Structure formats: structure tokens, C-alpha cells
Amino acid sequence: MSPRQFAAQLKGVFGFPVTPFRRDLSLDLEALTRNVDEMASYPFCAMVAAGGTGELYSLTPDEVEAVVHATVKAVNGRMPVVAGTGFNAALGADIARRAEQAGAAAILILPPYYIASPESGLFAYYQAIGAATALPLMIYSRDWAVFTPEMVARLADRLPNLVAWKDGQGDVRRLQRIMNHNGDRLAWFGGLGDDCAPGYFAVGVQAYTSSISNIAPRLSLDLAEAGMARDFERLNRLMGRYVHPLYALRERAKGYEVAAMKAAMAILGLPAGPVRPPLMDCKPEDIADLERLMEIYSEVRRESRLEVRQ
């Protein structure tokens, strides 16, 4: 299929596995393989290797390649694997080439290291990575990589293999303007977090990326199912019981967006390990609150389809 056809069929939820580390912070590929194999038994539209939740920026290029290879092997053809890249033009291009060789089906480009890039320099960064691979490209607009609708159009003109846009700003007004200006030229994905699912589906994204997929795959799929059906009554019930309490805990400290997910996984008996610096692991008092919340999440892991009643 063409790159655009590939992007058009990605609907629902992207599984977003963490990258497990051992206590000495070395890469734990055995744990990654176990986790991805279990996650891939659920019907995600794709699996993302070494993305933001996968701590891309704490990995070396060799480790990214190993993570992508292990993820592709564990998925075993059940869904496409999207590989993250970033850093700078040279490293980003190198990682993209390695990911293609490791079996990735698409590349997710995170922002470059420099936070005050002029448009010409920012575009050159994306173009360098795009020129390194024939794979479909997805751009992750997060943090300082902020775009206007016209910038997205100009970048799409320069990148023939750009097929999708992952929003990480959470500004639905801006995202809706970008989508309206560019139409079906790109596939549109929500990428800031599970807690933004109602806003994302309200403006018409076709999929979202879920860190909750690590601990409750069925919940993330049900959130997307309700959102795509525009069943906001059901979606809001799921959000209120499961998502908002977790995200309130994740907001207690910087870096908890990954650390809290890894701690929750450990509570549920899933291998995840610590986070690498500059992130920090959860404090004991926060883990105690997570343990109480995971008791509620046990009902999510039991049921095949969630119906939350007031």
C-alpha cells in the first residue's frame, strides 16, 4: 500500500510500551519482549517502539535499534511497528535508517534538541530524517515544536513521505485549525495523553497514543471506541473513574508521566524497572496512592468491555 493508505488505516489506539530497564539501568530486552507480546494480543492499530513513553532520549542509537528489533519480533506481524527518532539531524537520520533495517513500518519524529529553532532550521531537521528513509513519516508536535496551520502545509510540501501528524500540544483550537487548513492531506492523531481523548475525538482525530495501554489495554481501546462513536457520555464515565485519577497522580512531579506508568506496571506484576535520569522514580508516598488506584484498575483488567455505572 502507499504511505497515505498506510496512514489512513491507522484508526483507534497506538500501543505505547515503556522501555524496561534493570536496576542498574541497563536495557532489559527480555522484559520488553514479554510486555510487547502481551500488548500485541490486543487490536491496537500500531505499536510504537522507543517513543516518548519509551524514554527515547535516554537511549543510545544502538539501544534504539535493539528496542525496535525486539518490538518487531515480539509483535510478529500482528500490527505495524512505528519507531521513534529525534535528537539532531545526524542522529535522527541514523536512527531512522537503523529502524527501517530493524523492520519498522513507519518513523515517528520527535522534536530536535534545540528549543529555539528558526523555521528553516527546524524544517531542515525533518528533511534530513525524511531523506534517510523511504518509510512513512509521522511528526510529533510537542514541547517547543509548535506549528501554525500554514507551517504544517509548507512542511508537507517539502516532505513527500510525511503522512501523519501527532499532536502533543493539547491545544484543540490550534489542532482544529491545523486540521481544517490541511484536510485529509495527513492523518491526524492525538498524542498528549489518555486524559485528552475526549477533546481529540471531538475535533476528529482517527487515533490516539496511549500510555495506559501498558497497564490496561482494554481500557485504552474502549476510550477510543467511545470517542470514535462520539459516545461522550460513556467516554466521560471512563475518564472519571480511571483516567483522571491516574493523570492527577502523574502530575505530582515532573517526569511522572513515565515513572508512574512503570510503578503501576510493577504493582500489577509487569516488568518495567526504573526510569533513567533525568527522570526520577516515584516517591514512596505516591506509590502507596498508586497501589490503591491499581485496586480499581483490577476491574479494568478483568472485563473485556467496560461499562462504568454511576
Exposure on the CB side of residue 201, measured as CA atoms within 13 A: 25
List, in sequence order, every residue forming a beta bridge with 138; answer none if it has no partner.
108, 164
Exposure on the CB side of residue 146, measured as CA atoms within 13 A: 8
Supply 152's cell numbers: 504544517
Is residue 145 a contact partner of residue 52, using CB atoms and an 8 Å limit? Answer: no
- Selection from 223, 164, 163 nearest residue 199 by Cα: 223
Task: Give dist(CA 135, CA 18) in Å, integer.
Answer: 23
User: How far from 291 is each of 58, 222, 296, CA to CA, in Å?
Assistant: 27, 23, 9
Q: Which of 140, 208, 242, 256 is catalytic?
A: 140
Task: Give dist(CA 187, CA 11) in Å, integer.
Answer: 9
C-alpha dihedral (114, 155, 18, 216), degrees to nearest 10? 140
Task: Give dist(CA 56, CA 86) in Å, integer.
Answer: 8
Where are the extended beta strands (E) located within the chain? 12-15, 46-49, 81-87, 106-112, 137-142, 162-168, 187-190, 207-210
Tell me, rounded to whole angstroms, the distance of Cα 205 from its chain centroid.
14
- Selection from 42, 44, 37, 39 nearest residue 13 by Cα: 44
Q: Does 297 qualify as catalytic in the annotation?
A: no
Q: Which of 125, 166, 200, 208 is catalytic?
A: 166
Q: Does 125 qualify as catalytic in the annotation?
A: no
Q: 3-class SS at 21?
A: strand
Catalytic residues: 140, 166
